[in-house]
Chains A and B, each alone.
Chain A
């Protein structure tokens, strides 16, 4: 039966190829534009650590002075050295780590190789366990290395291969700036999207190449980057990051159970009160504890321009749909005569309806094919852009299926009303006009 409907459908579609092509193109354009932008949005607002994200939290404290104090103000987005150290020592979570981004100068041992900068992450021992960072060789450092300011580093595989050409890197001594460091671990390529653990330099940068104990980096004056929010007056020359009234560290904590999470929220408040008693904090306790996805939302990590373009694409899609509904309506109503004949010969309203929907399904399928091709082209265009996220815009399998499903569903939905109108035409009248 369906075979027969489809046969009829393709005959009728071939009867006026221009109108058919117009509908297919309209659906294809709408679907292509929407899917391009939705894919970009899907990639950019994805979950960077699906297995762990519900257990990772970002605590915030408010150590600022009473200048400019407003009730209900959000606390600083980063943490001062003293608070980060205190929270680390408290060990209230399964894992916790303080961290900051920066740059180190790599000086290859072989002469003739110019020195170059790489992005570095200065952090504490738990970083690797907390974020499930995959190691190719070796491992991270211990918290006693943090305390000792040990000169150890973990490097990314790309850097290890660049320096040692696939040879053994663990145990090698690497010169960074003016100091030598022992490589204790090599990690597999690891670059979460978005770059959730540090959003201070855009949410979509690549993963770092060198990881170093934070205490070591401070002692050796490595180039710490990122942003620095200070309160009060102070000189930035010879700034001592350990004592300055500035917040510049990201701090993450892993809390596995709801009970742990509740306890940690209470701990943050009691810690703030205790600091106020000591006279370090002056404001009433102002704490936050976002989970990973909440933290991304709070920071509006997806750029407004991408959301705007998605909105535009969806508006475009809506126009395409209205256009398709109008054209289908015209197309179906024009064939009143044919349907009158079929009704007169005993076809039920339902079979007429099914046959018209079969026609729409064919249009939808062709539209889907055009849409996928256009989306692939659209994403290729996006990838040519110099934006931080551009390289990530790829159509994965779920999005590909989604494109087809969307094309089919929208077309069939668009066809519902015209088909319903068309199959309700009284057959007698259609025959009489003939």
Chain B
């Protein structure tokens, strides 16, 4: 038996191996329509799966954000007094009485009042600020304002990157809705500090606010992280300041405790507050961990939906490939028998079907990558999604190649098992 040079790696026994591509391609030409359909299906799957994976990654990156407070040790309660005497002094004293009563609860280590919390998704106060005095218009707009009563930094578990906590004398009477001077000290986030003073330390820097920037406050500290009460889009999610105030009309109480004590505290809060004064409406209370998880509920729902869709699509495509390959194997039983009879090994037959599948899937992927980019452009235009990073494309391609090979394995093994004697029978 004359051996061909080993360099070609072909064995003369199997005429198909000598020019491996040609017979497969010509066989595919016989099933043009079916092949095109499968390629189309794979292309669509590739486009949808790569964009779906990207959407999942996008949502997950949002959900990884650090709130900047002690998530698992906080409980909040919102209570409105119905006593409408409108006297600030009596409102203050009621607030103080509430704070004292809540602090005395079993397991509670501290209580403060705030106007909002990260990811609370409730109303938030935003205003414009400047870093130069006397400008007619604020240079940085939509900066969220957190207000907190004494102990705010420590009780919420906010970590400072730089500077110090507020001093007791810095807590002032201030309401952002009145055009009045803010407290003398302010704490900003690292992200905001880097935006306001890109090349210098933020400590001691002035911030101007109010009409034409006529009031000034100075930075005493910088927090490592503190998210806004609501996130809009993906930028500036930490654009906020923290101001020290004495009391907050329309604010909420936040209690700090060991995680184990949360449920009992949450249960007893209404009774404790009613003992102080029962002419009130408790409009909401929850453990902060649940609040955060509720905030991302829609994102989680979307991720599950996308996972189900990806799963169904891949399963469907795989089953389609199985159905089609089985049909082809059945159709070619006679030819396979002939090839086996003239010396093709089982491996050769297996390799043939695997190569064929690889070629079809590759064609589908090539088209699919174009479709994926087109679909992403469409989504970018209509749903404000970011651009699809290119590394998602090879991931999707790899998934489909592996899927195709796995799907074709069963039918290909059945093909390889066809005995040579089949060639001698007529169908």
Which residue on B lies nearest to A329, using beta carbons?
B34
Query: Smallest CB–CB gap between A360 and chain B, Å?
Result: 16
Give CA–CA (A329, B323) in the complex, Å.
11
Known: A309-B305, A334-B327. A319 touches B34 (CB 8 A): no
Give a binary string over A223-238; 1 marks a CB under 8 Å from any B CB, 0 the rest: 0000000000111110
Instruction: Tell whether, in the assembled complex, residue B84 and residue A385 are in contact, meaning their CB atoms are under 8 Å apart.
Output: no
Instruction: Tell whether, in the assembled complex, residue B301 and residue A385 are in contact, meaning their CB atoms are under 8 Å apart.
Output: yes
Instruction: Tell whether, in the assembled complex, residue A386 and residue B283 are in contact, meaning their CB atoms are under 8 Å apart.
Output: no
Instruction: Tell whether, in the assembled complex, residue B37 and residue A305 are in contact, meaning their CB atoms are under 8 Å apart.
Output: no
Q: A residues within 8 A CB of B305?
A: 309, 312
Q: B residues within 8 A CB of A421?
A: 33
Give CA–CA (A178, B40) in the complex, Å.
69
* Cβ-based interface call for A401 (8 A): no
Give a binary string over A113-127; 1 marks a CB under 8 Å from any B CB, 0 the rest: 011110000000000
- Chain B interface, DSSP helix/strand/loop, else mixed: helix
Q: A residues within 8 A CB of B383?
A: 304, 307-308
Give a binary string over B366-391; 1 marks a CB under 8 Å from any A CB, 0 the rest: 00000000010001001110000000
Give CA–CA (A316, B313) in the complex, Å.
7
Query: Smallest CB–CB gap between B385 and chain A, Å?
Result: 9
- Of A2-10, A240-248, A262-270, A320-328, the one contacting chain B is A320-328
Q: B residues within 8 A CB of A320?
A: 316
Query: Smallest CB–CB gap between A228 and chain B, Å?
Result: 11
Known: A315-B44, A322-B41. A330 touches B327 (CB 8 A): yes
Instruction: Tell whether, in the assembled complex, residue B312 and residue A329 are in contact, meaning their CB atoms are under 8 Å apart.
Output: no
Which residue on B lies nearest to A68, using beta carbons?
B137
Give CA–CA (A178, B281) in the complex, Å.
14
- Chain A interface, DSSP helix/strand/loop, else mixed: helix
* Residues 348-385 (chain A) with a chain B CB within 8 angstroms: 385
Give CA–CA (A308, B324) in the complex, Å.
32
* Residues 310-337 (chain B) with a chain A CB within 8 angstroms: 312-313, 316-317, 319-320, 323-324, 327, 330-331
Residue of B82, B306, B323, B382 contacting most chain A CB atoms (<10 Å) = B323
Instruction: Tell whether, in the assembled complex, residue A327 and residue B177 are in contact, meaning their CB atoms are under 8 Å apart.
Output: no
Query: Smallest CB–CB gap between B328 and chain A, Å?
Result: 9
Q: Pick the residue among B48, B82, B302 that contacts A315 (CB under 8 A).
A: B48
Q: Pick the residue among A237, A327, A387, A434 that contacts B298 (CB under 8 A).
A: A387
* Cβ-based interface call for A33 (8 A): yes
* Cβ-based interface call for B309 (8 A): yes
* Residues 272-325 (chain B) with a chain A CB within 8 angstroms: 279, 281, 283, 294, 297-298, 301-302, 305-306, 309, 312-313, 316-317, 319-320, 323-324
Query: Smallest CB–CB gap between B213 and chain A, Å?
Result: 11
Give CA–CA (A319, B319) in the complex, Å.
12
Query: Smallest CB–CB gap between B219 and chain A, Å?
Result: 25
Which residue on A lies nearest to B40, using beta carbons?
A322
* Cβ-based interface call for A130 (8 A): no
Instruction: Tell whether, in the assembled complex, residue B179 and residue A233 are in contact, meaning their CB atoms are under 8 Å apart.
Output: yes
Instruction: Tell whether, in the assembled complex, residue B48 and residue A330 are in contact, meaning their CB atoms are under 8 Å apart.
Output: no
Instruction: Tell whether, in the assembled complex, residue A323 and residue B283 are in contact, meaning their CB atoms are under 8 Å apart.
Output: no
* Cβ-based interface call for A94 (8 A): no
Instruction: Tell whether, in the assembled complex, residue A319 and residue B84 are in contact, meaning their CB atoms are under 8 Å apart.
Output: no
Q: A residues within 8 A CB of B324?
A: 326-327, 330
* Cβ-based interface call for A341 (8 A): no
* Cβ-based interface call for A29 (8 A): yes
Instruction: Tell whether, in the assembled complex, residue B382 and residue A319 are in contact, meaning their CB atoms are under 8 Å apart.
Output: no
Q: B residues within 8 A CB of A330?
A: 34, 323-324, 327
Q: Pick the residue among B179, B212, B331, B427 that contacts A235 (CB under 8 A).
A: B179
Known: A117-B281, A236-B177, A326-B34. A316 touches B319 (CB 8 A): no
Instruction: Tell whether, in the assembled complex, residue B37 and residue A236 are in contact, meaning their CB atoms are under 8 Å apart.
Output: no
* Cβ-based interface call for A108 (8 A): no
A-B residue pairs, 6 tightest by C-beta:
A236-B177, A237-B178, A326-B37, A235-B179, A233-B211, A322-B41
Q: List 15 A-B contacts (CB under 8 A).
A: A105-B281, A115-B82, A233-B211, A236-B179, A307-B383, A312-B309, A316-B313, A319-B313, A323-B41, A323-B317, A323-B320, A327-B320, A329-B33, A329-B34, A385-B301
